[in-house]
């Protein structure tokens, strides 16, 4: 009862109701919300504090920024959704909020695309060296969907492609990345696909957030070749799995294109299956079938490491 009362008290104020409604639609900072509501920053911060304490919103840090979004769990979630669903969209105040939010989303998307345009030529060149993306993604889907998946962690999410590919099929999906620019692109993609339950946030693949646990699948899609310590990243991903979970790695097989190291900051020129198998073994995972998808100059490997049902944490029994 206390949680329900706290939630209702937090929502029972016009400004806080507007804040909750906006944060249900997008991940927003205090600066964003100050702009959208035309209110002072201290006032908005006080309202946000009450909404977090009431279990309506949650906050998460991304570098120097703190974002707010609708709570993802707990008893108040169904109540909050019911209250927000009952609000009339045609209300003039809510309609004006929605217009300003759409304008803000367009501005953020334009900034993200402008940044992406600066790397687009290199991005396209990289894709031309490997297998067709549709073929690779079809193979990834076969591996991921080999068994039921309710939750997915995308490690090094980049533009959020894996989240957009699998997000509609899972109840819980999270992506982490060290690039705020990439996270902005990922948010734009998820928003366009209506995948509001998918969360992206700033984090290091070797030091995942403490609450990133219990996933059915953790996927590394074309990211481990940037890592100086890929084995450590795989061990961390294994700790984020629930019993029977899997780590799926999608990356290059060994190659000799030194230009990728010199010009594209690749720390590793692909991985051999024996090396990946050792990472899995060290992390308490068992290597399953390996898939290879050849391209013009680069071959993509897809490796899946399975966690035993009775394994509780990183191979400990």
pLDDT in tens, 43-67: 999 999 999 999 999 888 766 678 8
Tell me, what's the pLDDT at 116?
Answer: 58
Alpha-carbon distances of 280 from 116, 226, 258, rounded to whole Å: 34, 18, 27
**pLDDT(313) > 70:** no
Closest CA to 10 of 39, 43, 53: 53
* Same fold across 2-115 and 120-307: no
Q: pLDDT band at 135, cuts 50/70/90?
A: very high
Nearest to 303 by CA among 144, 168, 67: 144
241 vs 90, more confident: 241
CA–CA gap between residue 237 and residue 208 (Å, rounded): 8
The mean pLDDT of the chain is 87
pLDDT band at residue 161 under the 50/70/90 scheme: very high
* Separation of alpha carbons 195 and 308, rounded Å: 30
- Which CATH number is associated with domain 2-115? 1.10.10.10
- Which pLDDT band holds residue 150 (cuts at 50, 70, 90)? very high
**Per-residue pLDDT, 312:** 42
Q: Contact at 8 Å (CB) between 66 and 60?
A: yes
- Residue 117 pLDDT level (bands cut at 50, 70, 90): low
140 to 18, 184, 188, 212: CA distances (angstroms) = 41, 24, 23, 22
Range scoring the smallest mean pLDDT among 117-121, 145-149, 286-290: 117-121
- In this predicted structure, the answer to whether residue 124 has a pLDDT above a threshold of 60 is no
Structural domain 120-307, CATH architecture: 3-Layer(aba) Sandwich (3.40)
The pTM (predicted TM-score) of the whole model is 0.72
Contacts for 286 with CB less than 8 Å, ≥ 6 apart: 280, 305, 306, 308
Domains of the chain: which residue ranges? 2-115, 120-307
Poorest-pLDDT segment among 19-28, 245-254, 304-313: 304-313
Looking at per-residue pLDDT, the higher value among 10 and 64 belongs to 10
For the ranges 85-99, 124-138, 259-273, 303-317, the lowest mean pLDDT is seen at: 303-317
């Amino acid at each position: 009862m206390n949680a329900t009362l706290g939630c209702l008290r937090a929502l029972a104020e016009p400004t806080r109701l507007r804040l909750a409604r906006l944060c249900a639609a997008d991940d927003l900072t205090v600066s964003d919300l100050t702009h959208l509501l035309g209110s002072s920053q201290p006032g908005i911060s006080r309202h946000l504090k009450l909404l977090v304490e009431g279990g309506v919103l949650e906050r998460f840090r991304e570098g120097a920024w703190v974002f707010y979004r609708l709570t993802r769990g707990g008893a108040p979630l169904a109540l909050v959704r019911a209250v927000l669903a009952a609000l009339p969209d045609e209300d003039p105040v809510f309609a004006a909020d929605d217009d300003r939010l759409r304008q803000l989303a367009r501005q953020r998307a334009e900034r993200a695309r402008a940044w992406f345009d600066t790397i687009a030529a290199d991005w396209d060149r990289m894709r031309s060296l490997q297998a067709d993306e549709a073929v690779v993604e079809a193979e990834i889907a076969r591996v991921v969907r080999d068994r039921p998946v309710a939750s997915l962690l995308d490690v090094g999410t980049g533009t959020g492609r894996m989240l957009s590919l699998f997000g509609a099929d899972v109840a819980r999906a999270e992506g982490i990345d060290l690039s705020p620019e990439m996270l902005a692109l990922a948010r734009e993609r998820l928003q366009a696909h209506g995948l509001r339950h998918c969360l992206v946030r700033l984090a290091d693949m070797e030091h995942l957030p403490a609450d990133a646990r219990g996933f059915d699948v953790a996927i590394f899609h074309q990211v481990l070749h940037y890592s100086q310590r890929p084995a450590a990243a795989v061990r961390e991903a294994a700790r984020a799995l629930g019993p029977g979970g899997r780590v799926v790695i999608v990356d290059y097989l060994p190659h000799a294109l030194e230009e990728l190291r010199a010009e594209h900051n690749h720390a590793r020129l692909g991985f051999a299956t024996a090396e990946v198998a050792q990472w899995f073994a060290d992390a308490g995972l068992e290597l399953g079938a390996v898939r290879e998808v050849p391209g013009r100059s680069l071959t993509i490997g897809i490796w899946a490491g399975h966690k035993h049902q009775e394994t509780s944490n990183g191979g400990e029994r």
